[in-house]
A and B are shown apart, each in its own frame.
Chain A
């Protein structure tokens, strides 16, 4: 009896052991294969992110002899009374507040027109999508020519007897010029996503609604929009992230200064200026960057919570 017990025990033990070695081997093998990716992620993404967070608590001098002075949360407190940071936040908020809803709605609208079974759909699909394929730098340059005081847009407006604007040089207009350009360029990308999702909306819903006497608009509001809610949520979050990070367009527009009169100064442009233009403000720049990441995170969570609540109602 005892012997038998001992035997089964040692059997179980050796089985356990074998299991362990197998598990260990599996782990080693698995992580071994992932190692290159993990290393790349660590070195180029996670490492710099953590390092940036670390730097945001220091006064950093990189040029000459590298000096790190621990300053606690000073960099974060400094954001509170930096009027340029406030201006940048306001500009960015205004930009996000206008661009995200407009581009989301425009994308949905374009997608539904393309999904309605009209003639020449494919050609329009290509035409609509083209702006997204253009690099943002090239796009900005082309728009700057069109926005020129004597450029295409003002000429057309003039022909139509509408008021013309100094699109690039007027501090009250410049940010809106960038908004128009970006909506035009990004909406088609989200349009494609909507278009794909529209194929998945069951046809019988529309048929049922039609039998009940719903018109086109009612079908759009009561079937298409609710059915696409998860996609809308995705599009809005991607839009939020993208618009909060506006940089290249306003950089090219203003030649890196955020002008005229700080009107195109965005948070990321400000980060760039503090990090690379002025010496010794790298720590402050990383503090602003971390703040921006927090803001985007909060905005995304808020968006998710709100859209979930709606779903329950």
Chain B
């Protein structure tokens, strides 16, 4: 009797240990599935986030179209609800990464460096027409040897969103350069409203910092404490602290500059394409206009944010994965994706076909694609912008001089990078 228990407990221990050890084999990425479903179809997993139900619906439509065209491939779509990069990195480390996934340009250089992404040059064929993509949108996804690791699914740029009523009342023309913007902001400031709502973040202001001759990032290190960058950002800080014509969202009790505009707390803000459906849905009664971001000494500049589809280097379904990527970022798939204006098409041909350049709201945003600074600047950008944001905020709120703040921030960032 007792000996039986022995055998059972020994077996139990063994199975426990065995199950604890298997699946720990870090390098064998199987894409979270066996790759083949029961009916002999190849299964590709696709992971991404979902910022709205509309986005999910569009992607589902794309996937349905894709599966119809490729009857031998099924796509398993996984939505990672929160902390996308944390989840994704953990899954990649554990060898459970998806075959195809979204990757923001700002994270791309660091991930390319680690070698977890599949280089895509050898897959690209002529009819995919890789030349069609806007160049500065695809650059963040290239390594030094011009190898491409991802193709943009779309992009958004910043434009100047303004409250039409407020500008009309104050008799202010839509500003076209930075001097006019400052004057307009002062004119538009009232007791409850500031002229310009500002997100004091590097992601939104890098193009301002680099409008002089300075670079905020040089050779992968922070350089935002340089005099050129300080000089370029000073007017923005002065607009708040000396003219009291600008404010950050948190000062006015808003979540974002888009909300500031909608709530009538700011007359002008610099926001992106994502703001259009938001304003239409949340503040349907407000009349707003969109213009290109004002120029600095006749130089046009804005920011562009882009997300690509990339392939897991450890994927076992590389051919099928490429089929999926090339469909989603191809002319047909991109048209489906960008038709509703959720994102702007990264392919010039699709932009032309959809006629966004003539669109009153999206036209100015599409114009920006050519001259925009893409939000991506080497593998250390996350460290750099985190430190910039922290310090720039205190300067923007008038607690430190801009010079002090940015010099400290640069030092801390570079300390962190060099270690």
A residues in contact (CB < 8 Å) with B: 32, 35-36, 39, 43, 61-66, 78, 81-84, 148-151, 166, 168-172, 257-262, 273, 276-279, 284
Contacts and interface: CB of A to CB of B under 8 A. Distances in A.
B250 interface: yes
Contact of B399 (A78, A82, A171, A279): A171
Interface residues of B, number: 39
B172 interface: no
Contact of A151 (B20, B252, B253, B397): B253
Nearest to A62: B93
Contacts of A273: 386
B389 A259 contact: yes
A273 to B, nearest CB: 8
A169 B250 contact: yes
B127 interface: no
Which A-B residue pairs are the 9 nearest by beta carbons? A169-B250, A149-B253, A64-B114, A150-B253, A261-B394, A64-B115, A63-B114, A62-B93, A148-B253
6 contacts: A32-B9, A65-B115, A170-B397, A172-B399, A259-B390, A278-B383
Contacts of B267: none
Contacts of B111: 63
A276 B252 contact: no
Given A63-B89, A261-B394, A262-B390, A82 B253 contact: no
Contacts of B9: 32, 35
Interface string B1-43: 0000100010001001000100000110000000000000000
A32 B419 CA distance: 48
B contact patch SS: helix
B389 A257 contact: yes
A277 B387 CA distance: 13
A170 B253 CA distance: 12
A171 to B, nearest CB: 6
Instruction: Please indicate which of the listed interface residues B16, B386, B390 has the most CB atoms of chain A within 10 Å of its own CB.
Output: B390
Interface in B195-253: 248, 250-253
Given A35-B13, A82-B416, A259-B389, A61 B251 contact: no
Contact of B415 (A82, A149, A172): A82
Contacts of A168: 250
Nearest to B94: A62
Interface string B383-419: 1001001110110010100000000000110011001
A265 to B, nearest CB: 8
Contacts of A148: 253
Given A61-B114, A151-B253, A279-B110, A78 B419 contact: yes
B86 interface: yes
A109 B86 CA distance: 43
A168 B254 CA distance: 11
A81 B418 CA distance: 12
A57 to B, nearest CB: 15
A63 B415 contact: no
Contacts of B389: 257, 259
A247 B115 CA distance: 32
Contact of B86 (A61, A276, A284): A276
A261 B248 contact: no
A63 B9 CA distance: 38
B116 interface: yes
Given A32-B9, A35-B13, A261-B391, A276 B89 contact: yes
A284 B114 contact: no
B382 interface: yes
B93 A260 contact: no
A257 B385 CA distance: 10
A166 B89 CA distance: 35
Contact of A63 (B13, B92, B382, B399): B92
Interface string B111-142: 10011100000000000000000000000000
Contact of A257 (B89, B386, B397, B416): B386
Which of B5, B252, B386, B389 has the most CB atoms of chain A within a 10 A radius of its CB?
Answer: B386
A84 B412 contact: yes
A277 B382 contact: yes
A43 B26 CA distance: 17
A258 B390 contact: yes
Nearest to A276: B86
Contacts of A278: 382-383, 416
A149 B251 contact: yes
Nearest to A144: B255
A82 B252 CA distance: 34
A253 B282 CA distance: 24
Contacts of B383: 278
A171 B397 contact: yes
Nearest to A33: B9
Nearest to A32: B9
Given A39-B16, A171-B399, A260-B390, 14 more contacts: A62-B89, A63-B111, A63-B116, A64-B114, A64-B115, A66-B93, A81-B415, A83-B411, A149-B252, A150-B252, A171-B397, A276-B90, A278-B383, A279-B379
